[in-house]
Every structure is written in structure tokens, then in C-alpha cells.
Structure 1
Amino acid sequence: MAYDVRRAAVRLYPHAAQEPSRVRSPRARRTARNVHRFQGMSVLRSLLALAALLGLALLGFTQAAFSRAGFAQPVNVCLAPLPTTFGTPAKPLTGYSDRSLEPFDRVMTRLLERYQIPGASLAVSKDGRLLLARGYGWADVEAKEPVHPDSLFRIGSLTKPITAVTVLHLGEQLVRQGRFPNLETFLQARVYELLALEPKGGQLGDPRIADITVRDLLQHSAGWNRNVAGDPMFRPTLTYVARSLGMGEAMPVQPLIEYMFSRKLSFTPGTFSAYSNLGYAVLGQLIERLSAQSYAAYLQKMLGQMGIHHITVGHTRLQDRLPGEVRYYDFPNAPLVPSVLDGSMVPRPYGEFYLEAQAANGGLVASAPELVKFVAVLEGHRPEASPISPEARKIMLERPPLPQYKGSKVYYALGWSVRPEKNGLMWSHDGALAGTRTLLLRLPDDTVIAAFFNSRPWNDWSFIADLKNSLLNAAQQVTRWPGYDCF
């Protein structure tokens, strides 16, 4: 009887068939541990335990019934109902939502099917309230581990807005300590003087490097243009830099920056904006220099004060992935590449780049709900204190006085792509690595959407445009936003 009860429980929670120690998601691991306890139980205790699991399922069905009937939903709305499936072949759908938010489910399930992506996560908030947290498809295809709402994903360049806020937070801290008279003075400070790094060969390769300011780094106007001189954070430029230094490609970020300080700039700082991973890597070093802490330590302390505890620096190798982190997949038939670590042939997500050196420009992992909460707390919609003042937040989103942005519909501010709309500002950022695609949207009506995927399609530009437009359309289709809050 105990075996039959356990088998019934496994039918409800398929991931519970695995040994708990082999399940990576903390949420799934707890369920597996509880189901394995059915072994050896008495008949009565087994039935009681199964009743508890069925009770959780009933709560999920009850929530849906309340929603359809138009009644106020019970306080337990945030308890996820039983996983369901979508697509062909069937893939798991986990987490919680509301009937009024079904347009978001339709978008995500369609995209996974159309672009052959194993798994994804989506979180949606309104006015600082978390309303949807979903997992779609597989976190690990081989292990049949579903994506859960709190699964961790590499977020790529979505790291940059977090680094930008961290820099502003540090700047205001330094102002309070009397090291700068005000935040604007900090933003205009010359980075080369603050860092005290020695360029390779002992001399700046371009005297204009000494004029780069903190603001220039934040708004990509420091003078580096990857379309002209390549991106030293990635191959093939990374390979060239490593050979020039006599180092492996898995090098720390400091010698790479020192090398780039010995090279020519592509344009005069403060006159043009060109997207730069290197600039944000320099900001990571600046945080370490001025705070006397590692980037990760300073960031986690700031995030902890925001009630966020699982955004952290990721790792390059598959065997080093974090508990609860998804597995990353290249697009079908993608080639293997030599690993930056040891030269062995590996899938691109696990060796084409050295993630540890990209902590400040693209190396963080996060869950979708926590990234949505990051924006909610940042804007002052949560009980936790915002990491920056309203004045700093205003500066963060201002249009830079660069010629290319005069009259433009979109501009890159301090860490965010900003689009003025009739009813306010839409700010956003996306991220991409081999095996990763992410998008964060903050709409003028205080809707925040975070979508993460564990593969990057070969037709990436088509995919990201489809994703963004479809999520915006889904938000417009919502006629009634639920009143609950699952943060």
C-alpha cells in the first residue's frame, strides 16, 4: 500500500521519482524528499501524506475556480497548483498565474515550440505586486527536470542595469562619507585616476583614456567601439589579447583591462555612444577599488538589503552550475568549440567564453521573480528600501546629451535602454550568450516583465523582436489585473 501511495504521488509530481540528492531545483528537491518518505510508512500515515499533497493540488484548482467565478481570490493564491503540460511532445508548465494573464502563457508556449527552446521562465508584476511566476519546459532535458518559477538562469547583459544601479548606490554611499560633494561630481570623476591601474607597457595607448568618466562607462560613451576594434571579452578578440599577454583565454579581468588601456580608442570619450562590454567590466573593477570589496560581495550586500538573495555570479563549466540553475543548450546542430579553460571540445555555452571574468558586464545568474522584484524595490514599490534615491533614479533614466540621441525615439541612459511614451518612460534591457536569451521590460504603467530562456536561437534577431512585441501585446490584452501579491 505504501508503494501504491508513493506511485500515485509520483504521478502527480513526476520529478519526485528521482533521488532527492539528484534534483537540482530546491523546490523540486523538497517535493522528492517528501515523496520518498512514503517508503516504509504505515497505510494510514501514507494516506495522510498523500492527502496533504492532494490538498495542495486542490488549492490550485480552487484558485482557478475562484478566478473564473469572479470572486476575490483566497490568500493562498500563490501556492502553485499541480504542473500541467503544453506542446507536442508534452512539456511541463509550472508555477502560478491568473486566468486574466493567460495571454502571457500563450506567448511563452508558442515561442518555445516555434524556436525549439527547451525551457523558459516568466515573471510579471504590476504596481510592485508579483502576479505571475511560471516555468515552461525543461531545465534539464536529459534529467527530465522542469523549469520552476525560481529556477536560476544566466542573464547575460541584463547584468548591466544591475551593475549600473550598484555604481549609483556606491556613489551615493561615497557622497555620504564625504569622499565626493554630490553624485554628479562622482559621475564626472575620471576613472583612470580612481582605478590606479598600470597600462601594459607602463603608458596609456591613447591620452584620451585619462578623460573617461564614470558616466561615460555607464552610458557606453567611453571610446571603445566593438564594431571597430572588436570585443575583448569574447573571441576572436579575446584570443588575440590572451596571446599578446602570454596568458590563457580564461584570464582575470584586470590584466585584460590593463592591456586595453595600452591601446587606441575608437572615438573621443563623451562624444558618441557605442555598446561596450569592456566598459562595464571596468565598472566592476571600479566598484572593487572604491568599496575595498569584491564585486560579488558588494553586490550581494546591496541586494540583501533589497530582500533579494539569489542573484549571484555564475560559472563557466557545466559541472559548476549552481543549485537550482538550469542547463544551457546551443541551437540544434551547433558546433563544439575549444574550451577557454583547457582546450577540450565542449558545447559553446560551457566554454566559448570565461563567465567569471564577465561578472559585471554579463556574468550574473538570477530568477525571473527576483529580477522583477529588483525593479519593484528600485522604484520604491516595496517595503524594502530602494538602493538609490529618487534623485539618482531620475539621473539614471535621463537622456544623455549626445548628438546621436537628439530627437531619437530610444536612447541608452545609465544602464537602461529608454523609450519615452505618451504616458511615461519604458525602460528595458536584454541579454544574450550562447545558450541564453533574456529580456526585462518596465512599462510606463508600472508593469514589469522578465523572460528568461535556456537557449539562444540561431535566428536571434527574429526571436528577440518576436519576444518583445508579443509580450507588449500580451500586456495590452490584460483587461483586469489581479489584486493579489506573491512577493
Structure 2
Amino acid sequence: MRAMTMIPAMAVVLAASPLHAQSTSPQSATLDSIAPQIEAGFTTFMVENHVPGLVYGVVQGGHLALVKGEGVQDLAARRPVTPDSLFRIASMTKAFTALSILSLRDKGLLALDDPAEKYVPEMRGWTYPTSDSPKIRVRDLLQHVAGFVTDDPWGDRQQVLSQEDFTALLKTGVPFTREPQARHEYSNLGYAILGRIVANVTHQPYRRYVEKTFLVPLGMTSSGYDTPASPIERRAVGYRWENGVWSEEPTMKDGAFNSMGGLQVSANDYAKWIAFLLSGWPARDGPETGPVRRATIRELAQGLNFVSIATRPGSTGATACPLALAYGMGWRVMQDCDLGLTMSHGGGYPGYGSHVMLMPEYGTGIFVLTNRTYAGPTGPAWDAAMLMHKAGLLHRPEMPVSSDLASFYAAAQAVWQAGTVAPLNGRVAMNFPMDRTAENWTKVLGELKAQAGTCDTAAPVTPTGRMTGTFRWTCGKGSVNGQIVLAPTRPITIQALRFTFEGAVP
């Protein structure tokens, strides 16, 4: 067992914005106080699932705030797992592939709505399942809607396939399980084709493009795709648990399916990738300092197709609100009642199992890497997130109040005090007097004020956007909840002002 390690800020290429860093900076005392509970979750998982070794980390405020290795990376030599041990991350590689495609789109070298066969000529002439089937677009491959059959575990064993054999496979054509764009169905083959697109567009191997675009700029000096060439004294050897014993899985070389799952990282390196992704939030002014634009990172979270309902992973799932789930680009994107926007992905591979989850609104990410086939450490990662949530360690950056919203909030306060909408004269959108007359406003305001009693209207407005906001006033007989919605016009006008009385609970 390795001692708990608190890591200082690392020199990632891009630091979080001042607002973001301030709002999510690690509170070491609080994180330290729940560290034993986080550790217990991962330790229990490791024992119950016969995992030889694992390492987990918490990235927050641009830093690797917490990291711990447990068990051994090699059963023969009994080398302990450390933050520098090298693990294959399997399908968590897909995030690198997706962002590579988006970076090429940003450079004008491809378009997401182009047919994939434009960049992979071997796909031309494929036989589609119906005469009215649309051709596979680059976007369809990113979001697993190309019509391919789910190919776990077949795809995992294609890692060693040569580029020549992959070309032959593509030339032969592949069978479809349904027409493209009909529904989401996870496909390693689709991401292997994306790797071929990267290679053909850039005229270099896929892995070389990832290295030059992300690994080197982010300082991920220990990470790469050539696992057999990595130093054995740092490599987490992959094992299978079967018939009550561990057996070593073959170490697969780099091949044509590397873009779906071939990357190997250390925890210290992977934390730099997570910090880079989290730096894309929130949207803000300021220079772009990363390998790709912040807006491009945020695009990964657009789960645009075939939304489903899911249960939160981990021990809190049974009592949590259902999650809305869709696949973005290299990430499963969910809305959680407690954690807000989450992006997660597992990595299952012969010899390895991993999981990563991001809470971009909170500037926080959690990951775990193991060296047991399909270990699936999803539960303890999400449990760690909920422990942080309950400990008050997750904080959204405060949204600033725009000058327009502040001005109209002052007008809303004046409307309440006056009991008429006269303070808004000359500042309303054309729909405003049509939706409620000035006379009716006076009547309704009088009734609400009589219900509420004297109200303290000094409470600040809470922005929900630059042009929308809510407020809550404490009153003698209860509270008044309000909403302001400005209109999309120049000059700025107000399209809706709403007041709702909420009586005091007896």
C-alpha cells in the first residue's frame, strides 16, 4: 500500500481562469478529512473484484489535489503502484481521438457533416442496409450512430491489427446492424475509422498527431501508444482473474485500433489531460493558451442524440434522481440532480479497467486506473464525487450579473415599490403590454403586496444567463419569487416580469 500523497500545483500548459481557479481551489483540510472514506471505497472495490493494483486521483482547480496508488503493478516483482505507474486506459482513449477530430475541423481540414468516405476511400461503394440509408458522416462515427453493431469484446482484441489488414477489412466492407443515424450503438470500429481519418488528413500516423497536438504540449512525457517499449519497472502488467487465480494478459502492441483504446498513461500524466479539459469551463474572455480552443473542449459535452434515462453509478444510485444520458463526443454526457453536468467514460480492456468522470461546472475530475481485465471501477469513482459534494467541496463559479440585467432588476424593484409598471415606461418589448395591460398590472401587484406584506427587496438577483435572472424577497407573510427575461432586441428591453407569492409554512 502506498501512502496518501497531496500533490502541489503542476505546470499544465493552461491554467484555469482566475474566476474558475478561485471558485474551485482545493480545500486541502476538507479533502483530507474525507480522504479515508474515498480510500475505503476504492480499497473495498479492489478486494471484492480481485484487482492486483489501482491508482486514483482527484483533479480540482487545475491541480492534482489527491492521488493514491494501492496494491501492486506486477505480481511477479511485487512493485507497488505509484502515481507514475503506467496503465492502459482503453476506451478513455476515445476522448483524445474525438478532440483530435475537432481540432482538425477547427483547422479547416475536415467537416463533421462530410461523409466519412471522403477521407477514407475504402468506404466508398459500401453496401448500406437499405436503399434510403444515409451515408456515414464523420459526426456519426464520433457519436456512435453509424449503424455498426456493438463490438465489445471483439474490438478490444483488434488493437494489434496491422494498418494493412485494417485497410483490407475496410475494402471488403462491413455488415450493418441497422441504418446509420437510427440509434446510438457503441462501436470501437467507428473510432478506429476516426483514427484512419486523422492519419489520412494529416499525412502522418494517428498516434503521431495525438503526441504532437496533446501529449507533448501538455507535458504528458510518460504517456504513449507503444506499451511494449515502455519501461517494465514502471508498467502495470495486465491480469485476468479466472478460476480463482490471476493470469497475465498478453501485452498488445500498437496497431490500427489504437484510436479506440490504445493509450497508456500514468496518473500524474493523466491529471494534466483532465486539468486541460476542465479549463474549458466556464466560457470567458481572455487568451487561448491550450492546444485547442476552450469552445472546442466544451463541444465534447454536446450529447445531441438519442437521450435515455439512467441510474447514477455507485452506492447512491438507488435513491438518486434518474440521470438524463446521451453520448457526446468521446464522452457519456449526463445531467445529475446533485452534480449537474457530468462527463464520464469507462475503459475496459484485456488486463485493464478504468473510469473517469468530470464535473466541469465544478472544475473537478475523478479517475481510477486498474490492472485487471474489465474491472469497471465506476462505482467508487462516483461515490467519491458524492462524498465531495456532501462535504461541500464542489463549488460552481459565480455567474456575473450583466449591466443590463442589473439595470432591469433595479426597475423591477421600483415596479414593486410603486405598485405599477410605470418605472418600465419606454423599456418594454412590444409583447409586454399585449400580455398584460398596465391596468391589470396595477391590480395584480396590489393583490400580491396585500398577500405578502412588507418585503425586503434588497436581495441580489441571481443570473441564469446574461439576459435572465431570478430573485427571492423575504416578506412579512411569506416570500415573493420573481423572474426577469429580457428580449433579444437592441436597445435591450424586457419581455417578461413575473412575481409569485409563496405563503409562510405554518
TM-score (norm 1): 0.63
CA distance in 2, matches of 1:335, 1:253: 35
Shift of 1:193: 1.4
1:38-437 matches, within 5 Å, as 98-173=32-107, 175=108, 179=109, 186-197=111-122, 203-206=125-128, 211-226=135-150, 233-234=155-156, 250-256=160-166, 258-260=168-170, 262-303=173-214, 304-315=216-227, 324-333=234-243, 347=247, 349-350=249-250, 356-380=255-279, 385-402=289-306, 409-422=324-337, 424-437=340-353
Matched, 1:456 2:390: no
Counterparts in 2 of 1:474 and 1:306: CA distance versus 1, 3 Å: same
- Report the aligned-residue RMSD: 3.8
Counterparts in 2 of 1:197 and 1:471: CA distance versus 1, 3 Å: same
CA distance in 1, matches of 2:33, 2:127: 59
CA distance in 2, matches of 1:309, 1:330: 28
Shift of 1:322: 5.2
Q: Which residue of 1 aligns with 2:355?
A: 439
**8 A Cα contact 1:432 1:456, kept in partner:** yes
Counterparts in 2 of 1:416 and 1:374: CA distance versus 1, 3 Å: same
Shift of 1:320: 6.9
**Residue aligned with 1:270, SS:** coil
Shift of 1:257: 5.1
% identity of equivalent residues: 24
**Residue aligned with 1:356, SS:** coil
**8 A Cα contact 1:349 1:433, kept in partner:** no
**8 A Cα contact 1:272 1:403, kept in partner:** no
Render the CA deviation track for 1:404-450: whole Å, top value 9, x for unaligned.
68997111011100102356310010101122110001124222111
Shift of 1:469: 4.0
Render the CA deviation track for 1:140-160: whole Å, top value 9, x for unaligned.
122121111111101111111
**8 A Cα contact 1:305 1:385, kept in partner:** no
CA distance in 2, matches of 1:210, 1:254: 28
Amino acid of the structure 1 residue aligned with 2:387: A
Render the CA deviation track for 1:240-290: whole Å, top value 9, x for unaligned.
xxxxxxxxx953145335424523322222221100000000011111101
Counterparts in 2 of 1:408 and 1:106: CA distance versus 1, 3 Å: closer
Counterparts in 2 of 1:119 and 1:386: CA distance versus 1, 3 Å: same
CA distance in 1, matches of 2:328, 2:104: 18
Render the CA deviation track for 1:429-475: whole Å, top value 9, x for unaligned.
01011221100011242221110011136xx5xx5453344333333
Counterparts in 2 of 1:198 and 1:278: CA distance versus 1, 3 Å: closer
**8 A Cα contact 2:129 2:178, kept in partner:** no
Q: Which residue of 2 aligns with 1:244?
A: none
**8 A Cα contact 2:226 2:253, kept in partner:** no
Amino acid of the structure 2 residue aligned with 1:189: D
Shift of 1:205: 3.2
CA distance in 1, matches of 2:129, 2:85: 46
Amino acid of the structure 2 residue aligned with 1:392: T
In structure 2, stretches of 5+ residues that fail to align are 11-30, 282-286, 311-321, 395-506
Structure having the larger proportion of residues in helix: 1
In structure 1, stretches of 5+ residues that fail to align are 1-13, 16-56, 65-74, 79-96, 181-185, 239-248, 337-346, 482-487
Counterparts in 2 of 1:271 and 1:258: CA distance versus 1, 3 Å: farther
Matched, 1:470 2:383: yes
Amino acid of the structure 2 residue aligned with 1:331: W
Counterparts in 2 of 1:433 and 1:401: CA distance versus 1, 3 Å: closer
CA distance in 1, matches of 2:291, 2:66: 24
Counterparts in 2 of 1:389 and 1:188: CA distance versus 1, 3 Å: same
**Residue aligned with 1:132, SS:** strand
CA distance in 1, matches of 2:276, 2:377: 26
Shift of 1:101: 2.6
Counterparts in 2 of 1:136 and 1:401: CA distance versus 1, 3 Å: closer
Shift of 1:326: 1.0
Counterparts in 2 of 1:471 and 1:384: CA distance versus 1, 3 Å: farther
Counterparts in 2 of 1:416 and 1:254: CA distance versus 1, 3 Å: farther
CA distance in 2, matches of 1:77, 1:288: 35
CA distance in 2, matches of 1:231, 1:115: 19
CA distance in 2, matches of 1:397, 1:465: 19
Structure having the larger proportion of residues in strand: 2
**8 A Cα contact 1:151 1:324, kept in partner:** yes
CA distance in 2, matches of 1:363, 1:334: 28
**8 A Cα contact 1:409 1:419, kept in partner:** yes
Render the CA deviation track for 1:12-33: whole Å, top value 9, x for unaligned.
xx99xxxxxxxxxxxxxxxxxx
Render the CA deviation track for 1:216-237: whole Å, top value 9, x for unaligned.
110001110126xx865356xx
Amino acid of the structure 1 residue aligned with 2:126: L
